[in-house]
A and B are shown apart, each in its own frame.
Chain A
């Protein structure tokens, strides 16, 4: 096969897989933001925290208990979901009706707090799979991802897994919101919380449920993040959160399927811009991370044309 054709096909595959991870990382915040109008800016820190849980789990449980590191995803789901419950009761519940800024500042503070804990409490962080990232040391090898190779194309196993989780969980979440009583009650609370209350819905329950579920999904995303990246404490804010916000707003706030598609769009943009910068743009002095420039540029253009994103109506539909 022609090299440029191979590169093209590989960019599509990598972009879609990466997009699946982005969608998984974003869908929890999409739920929380769409339902409660709370922009939980600690969402990136939640993901990184879960990544650390998975790394620690792999260091301890994999050698001694012979557990697959992937088993930590269940732990991430429950721990970060539990963290979400605590944060909801201690922080969010007191300020959720006092406008947009108070929760923004409060969760920003929470994010700094969590990052500090991760940074100071957990020391230098080994990466699960030394085949990526710097500082790979063989003695820390606790997981080695296999590549599935089809002809000239290849797929990293953890990327495929996070893609599969995304395309299973997100449609299930969509069905939950559109078909079940609690899902509909969450949407009703999003659309008019006071009307939900006097229709007989316990909005404290629906808000807690959406915050806990959104956090738990950040946990699953964090677990997968540990397998595909070398993790540092600040990645939540410097890398994940900006991308997550682009994914959510591109897809349309409150639309779960929109978030999935938003993830694919951003994943493809990044992988294609990598393709271009290695072969072409680099010659004009663009930096290797020109992909982010392109992604944010497309984001701004889409918002100019469709201010509510590709699929959005503003709240969970």
Chain B
């Protein structure tokens, strides 16, 4: 097992946001996390990244607890994160944004950059440009590229479809699948996406800070209750 979360509870001040959440991602797996806005998906990903501290429960990656680490140490353990809204460094060039993903002493910097550019040729063409001048799709590609520059074994993706046209989202998902074929495990959080379920093998559904159902993605897609509540499809 690559990532395993057991009975995690997280609070913001006095407001409890996650209740007894358990979830796992096997090595090389693509798992999606579906839920409405505010269900707790982002909080769960931020807890994994140690951006939010949690009191109860455990988060274990490759057999080691992530408790008490700083976010950059979680990154060093092999987990990378693409946040909702990209969060690029706006006054830096695309290339500098990517460079920030790699560690200070990085012997294979060029080959890391090359693999990002071969995944996203559109980014290569814009590498000298300031990140703030890119389109939403290109920014998403740079955000994924910056995460891949850390050479992760697991990638957490928050709301990849945010602000993207279906066509661009499709291209980004292709890149994610390609990355998965190279052996990177993926946890994909999406609000309303049938496509997320289609690319993943298993899925969890979150409701009000709890995991309300889980199972094979294919079965969830065919579940009429899930179809209505999360995919917006009324049979």
A interface, CB within 8 angstroms of B: 181-182, 184-185, 187-188, 191-192, 194-204, 313, 315, 317
For A196, the chain B residues whose CB sits under 8 A away are 89, 100
Which 5 A/B pairs are nearest by Cβ-Cβ distance?
A: A200-B75, A197-B71, A195-B87, A191-B89, A199-B100
Residue in A184, A188, A200, A317 whose beta carbon sits within 8 Å of that of B103 in the complex: A200
| B100 and A184 form a contact (CB under 8 A) | yes
For A184, the chain B residues whose CB sits under 8 A away are 92, 96, 99-100
- B76 interfacial contact with A, CB 8 Å: yes
B interface, CB within 8 angstroms of A: 49, 51, 70-72, 74-76, 80-81, 83, 87-92, 96, 99-104, 146-147, 150
Given A196-B100, A202-B72: A315 touches B83 (CB 8 Å cut-off)? no
Counting chain A CB atoms within 10 Å of each CB, the highest count among B83, B91, B101 belongs to B91
Residue in B76, B80, B83, B102 whose beta carbon sits within 8 Å of that of A195 in the complex: B83
**Roughly how many angstroms separate A283 CA and B26 CA in the complex, as a whole number?**
85
| A192 and B87 form a contact (CB under 8 A) | yes
| A202 and B70 form a contact (CB under 8 A) | yes
| A198 and B92 form a contact (CB under 8 A) | no
Residue in B49, B74, B80, B91 whose beta carbon sits within 8 Å of that of A191 in the complex: B91
Counting chain A CB atoms within 10 Å of each CB, the highest count among B51, B76, B92 belongs to B92
**Roughly how many angstroms separate A185 CA and B75 CA in the complex, as a whole number?**
15
Given A198-B81, A198-B83: A187 touches B72 (CB 8 Å cut-off)? no
For A195, the chain B residues whose CB sits under 8 A away are 83, 87-89
B99 to chain A: closest CB distance in Å?
7
For A187, the chain B residues whose CB sits under 8 A away are 89, 91-92
| A198 and B100 form a contact (CB under 8 A) | no
| A188 and B100 form a contact (CB under 8 A) | yes
**Roughly how many angstroms separate A187 CA and B97 CA in the complex, as a whole number?**
11
**Roughly how many angstroms separate A249 CA and B210 CA in the complex, as a whole number?**
49
**Roughly how many angstroms separate A204 CA and B70 CA in the complex, as a whole number?**
10
**Roughly how many angstroms separate A313 CA and B103 CA in the complex, as a whole number?**
27
**Roughly how many angstroms separate A199 CA and B71 CA in the complex, as a whole number?**
9
For A204, the chain B residues whose CB sits under 8 A away are 70
A183 to chain B: closest CB distance in Å?
10
Counting chain B CB atoms within 10 Å of each CB, the highest count among A201, A204, A313 belongs to A201
Residue in A182, A191, A197, A199 whose beta carbon sits within 8 Å of that of B51 in the complex: A197
A197 to chain B: closest CB distance in Å?
4
| A199 and B101 form a contact (CB under 8 A) | yes
**Roughly how many angstroms separate A201 CA and B71 CA in the complex, as a whole number?**
9
Known A184-B92, A194-B87, A200-B103; 6 more pairs at CB < 8 Å? A185-B104, A188-B100, A192-B87, A195-B83, A198-B72, A199-B147
Given A184-B96, A194-B51, A195-B83: A200 touches B91 (CB 8 Å cut-off)? no
For B92, the chain A residues whose CB sits under 8 A away are 184, 187-188, 191
B48 to chain A: closest CB distance in Å?
10
For A181, the chain B residues whose CB sits under 8 A away are 99, 104
| A203 and B72 form a contact (CB under 8 A) | yes
**Roughly how many angstroms separate A315 CA and B89 CA in the complex, as a whole number?**
11
A158 to chain B: closest CB distance in Å?
37
**Roughly how many angstroms separate A202 CA and B75 CA in the complex, as a whole number?**
10
From B82, which residue of chain A is reached at the shortest CB distance?
A: A198
**Roughly how many angstroms separate A204 CA and B51 CA in the complex, as a whole number?**
14
B13 to chain A: closest CB distance in Å?
14
| B104 and A182 form a contact (CB under 8 A) | yes
Given A197-B72, A203-B72: A191 touches B90 (CB 8 Å cut-off)? yes
B214 to chain A: closest CB distance in Å?
26
For A313, the chain B residues whose CB sits under 8 A away are 91
| A188 and B104 form a contact (CB under 8 A) | no
A207 to chain B: closest CB distance in Å?
13
A37 to chain B: closest CB distance in Å?
15
Q: What are 18 A-B contacts with C-beta separation under 8 Å?
A: A182-B104, A184-B99, A187-B89, A187-B92, A188-B89, A188-B92, A191-B90, A192-B88, A194-B71, A196-B100, A197-B70, A197-B71, A197-B72, A198-B71, A199-B72, A199-B75, A199-B101, A200-B150
For A194, the chain B residues whose CB sits under 8 A away are 51, 71, 87
For B104, the chain A residues whose CB sits under 8 A away are 181-182, 185
| B70 and A192 form a contact (CB under 8 A) | no
**Roughly how many angstroms separate A204 CA and B69 CA in the complex, as a whole number?**
13
**Roughly how many angstroms separate A191 CA and B132 CA in the complex, as a whole number?**
12
**Roughly how many angstroms separate A201 CA and B150 CA in the complex, as a whole number?**
11
A239 to chain B: closest CB distance in Å?
33
**Roughly how many angstroms separate A181 CA and B81 CA in the complex, as a whole number?**
21
Counting chain A CB atoms within 10 Å of each CB, the highest count among B83, B87, B102 belongs to B87
**Roughly how many angstroms separate A61 CA and B104 CA in the complex, as a whole number?**
41
| A198 and B76 form a contact (CB under 8 A) | no
| B96 and A199 form a contact (CB under 8 A) | no
